[in-house]
Amino acid sequence: MPVAVVDVGSNTVRLLVTTSSGRELLSLRETLRLGESVEQHGAIPPDRLALVAECAARYAGAARALGADAIDVLVTSPGRQAANGAELASALERATRAPVRIVSAEEEGRLAFVGALASADVGSRKLVAVVDVGGGSAQTAVGSRRGGATWVRSIDLGSMRLTTRLLPADPPGPAAMMRARSEVERRLDGFAPPPAELAFAVGGSARALRRLCGSRLGADELAAATDLLGRTSQAQLSAQHGISAPRTSTLAAGAVILTALQERIGLPLRISRTGLRTGALLELAAGTSAAADAA
């Protein structure tokens, strides 16, 4: 039976529909930049609320057309950070006719961890770190396949919020990149993850950086990428590296945050193709199967 997740984040709204066994049926994305509104106004304006509700309604309809009765609508940092986060959740529930939940930062990190390990070939006891840089916040989780994520931390700063706050120019320039790095360092004061044996990066910033760095985000690769992003226009990034226009606007900020987190983990980050939405779908499929067995 198909299952679906609608993921309402600070930068994009995404739909992922899979079979209960994990085979992808449909993936959609629309850039609505809710985090920009939250950063500038503290709340999501009525016109943007209407846009996100309309988008989510279309996505829920597309999921149901594929046979997905089980639809989970997740609201990440916009729901936590906007003054009208509860209003956003209510609008989404009316539009999708599906359960809506505002996911805590800790739960977001845990789901990203579950999703990353779903496609990773790692032993059940190996300690793994998973970094998820989103538009409004960034999570790091450490744990194992057997024990789950036992250490999860979040910073209330993501690629969209950092771009709006400190990196609005195109290109940002070296001075602005240094100020952005200082802001991230300030947010990471006291951040000390436990030692891991392997590390993964999930999320849109990490996947976009693959075009600049390859599948491994080590210290040298990230240093070269942040230097390039600080002095390269968004149009050049799209033309020369094939990075989508919406992603180029926040990629410098995403690279700054990933660089700081990679340094603290002390391992190169392997880019994972699965993350939060996969983790949520796995749990939704398991819950649906258990309910069917009980019936």
**pLDDT tens digits along 267-290:** 999 999 999 999 999 999 987 765
- pLDDT above 60 for 292: no
> In this model, does residue 20 exceed pLDDT 90?
no
Nearest to 132 by CA among 13, 226, 271, 291: 271
Residue 74 phi, psi (nearest 5): -105, 130
Mean pLDDT of 8-32: 94
- Nearest Cα neighbor of 90 from 105, 106, 101, 82 is 101
**Residue 83: is its pLDDT beyond 80?**
yes
Sketch the domain layout of the chain as residue ranges.
3-103, 106-271
Neighbours of 190 (CB within 10 A): 6
pLDDT of 95 > 90? The answer is yes
Task: Decide: pTM greater than 0.85.
Answer: yes
Q: List CB contacts of 205: < 8 A, sequence separation 6 or more.
A: 133, 159, 247, 250, 251, 253, 254, 255, 257, 258
Domain 3-103: what homologous superfamily? ATPase, nucleotide binding domain (3.30.420.40)
pLDDT score of 121 more than 60: yes
What pLDDT is stored for residue 295 in this prediction? 57
Q: What is the pLDDT of residue 291?
A: 56
Q: What is the pLDDT of residue 12?
A: 95
Token pair for residue 237?
């990034």
- The predicted pLDDT at position 254 comes to 97
CATH top class, domain 106-271: alpha beta
Domain pair 3-103 / 106-271, same fold: yes
Inter-residue contact 191 to 208 (CB < 8 Å): no
pLDDT at position 287 is 79
DSSP state at residue 233: -
Task: State the chain's mean pLDDT as an integer.
Answer: 95
Q: What are the b/e assignments for 20-59, b being 16+ CB within 10 Å?
A: beeeebbebbbbbbbbbbbbeeebbeeebbebbbebbbbb
